[in-house]
A and B are shown apart, each in its own frame.
Chain A
Amino acid sequence: QVQLQESGPGLVKPSETLSLTCTVSRDSIVSYYWGWMRQAPGKALEWIGYIHYTGETKYHSSLKSRVSISVDTSRNQFFLRLNSVTTADTAVYYCGRVGVGAAPEGYYLFGMDVWGQGTTVTVSS
């Protein structure tokens, strides 16, 4: 079963850049979509975006100007960068595999079916 592990700084200063890595093991990053979600303390889940191993990306519109997701197939890793962070970006950040299904009308994405354990990022000076 594929496994994912987030890594990166747990503390980021306001206005700086949050950078996280998700390492995929026990399966290849090729042929799948990979995503990021976050959860602020005591709050609901929030979708951030996803990337296909080919480099195709999709981002949440509210973060689009600050967020970037990239992939390194040689290292079986994908990455999240969030610029100009504020305290509102304090959250647990999860990486995950985005499930893909097939229907007569074509393929569809159906959410994150495998998750990392999550990593807490605090934005504070």
Chain B
Amino acid sequence: DIQLTQSPSFLSASVGDRVTITCRASQDIKNSLTWYQQKPGEAPNLLIYRASFVLSGVPTRFSGSGSGTEFTLTISSLQPEDFATYYCQQLNVYPWTCGQGTKVEMK
């Protein structure tokens, strides 16, 4: 199975900060990577797919980049509602696998 490693696992930031989360794959997954946001007690929400395509309705402060084995999710200016856990998921090879998550906390 393809392993996805997210870094950092925890991140402390303030409103207005630029935040970057990295997801590294154990092998080439081309651009088949999706990012989700999950708030406590809620289902995840898809933010980014195909590494850089922003799902309709997702705020423009969210962006994604990368291909191959290294990917990033960037929040250009962190808002109060963005404090959550973020997961990457690869869909290039079965079984689809997810990273361990990155929790973004308030500094």
- Per the CB 8 Å criterion, the residue count for chain A at the interface is 23
- How far, in Å, is B52 (CB) from chain A's closest CB? 12
Categorize the interface residue count of chain B: 20 to 34
Verify if A14 is at the interface (C-beta below 8 Å from B): no
**Most chain A CB within a 10 A radius of its CB, from B49, B87, B95:** B95
Verify if B72 is at the interface (C-beta below 8 Å from A): no
Task: List A contacts of B44 (CB < 8 A).
Answer: 45, 94, 112, 115
Verify if A88 is at the interface (C-beta below 8 Å from B): no
Given known A-B contacts A61-B1, A99-B49, A101-B49, A110 and B91 have beta carbons under 8 A apart: yes
Q: Which of A47, A58, A111 contacts B49 (CB 8 A)?
A: A111
Within 8 A of A (CB), among B55-106: 55, 87, 89, 91, 94-101
Instruction: Kindly report which residue of chain A lies nearest to residue B34, judged by CB atoms.
Output: A111
For the complex, would chain A's binding face be called helix, strand, loop or mixed by DSSP majority?
Answer: strand
**What is the number of contacts between chain A and chain B, taking CB atoms within 8 Å?**
65
Verify if B46 is at the interface (C-beta below 8 Å from A): yes
Verify if A60 is at the interface (C-beta below 8 Å from B): yes
Given known A-B contacts A58-B94, A61-B1, A110-B50, A115 and B45 have beta carbons under 8 A apart: yes
B interface, CB within 8 angstroms of A: 1, 32, 34, 36, 38, 42-46, 49-50, 53, 55, 87, 89, 91, 94-101
A interface, CB within 8 angstroms of B: 44-47, 58-62, 94, 96, 99, 101, 108-113, 115-118
Having A44-B101, A45-B98, A108-B91, one finds 14 other A-B pairs with CB under 8 Å, namely: A44-B98, A44-B100, A47-B97, A61-B95, A96-B43, A99-B49, A101-B50, A108-B32, A110-B46, A110-B91, A111-B49, A111-B91, A112-B46, A115-B43
**Chain A to chain B contacts (Cβ below 8 Å), 21 pairs:** A44-B101, A45-B36, A45-B101, A58-B94, A60-B96, A61-B94, A94-B44, A99-B46, A99-B49, A101-B49, A101-B50, A108-B32, A108-B50, A110-B32, A111-B36, A111-B49, A111-B91, A112-B44, A113-B49, A116-B43, A118-B43
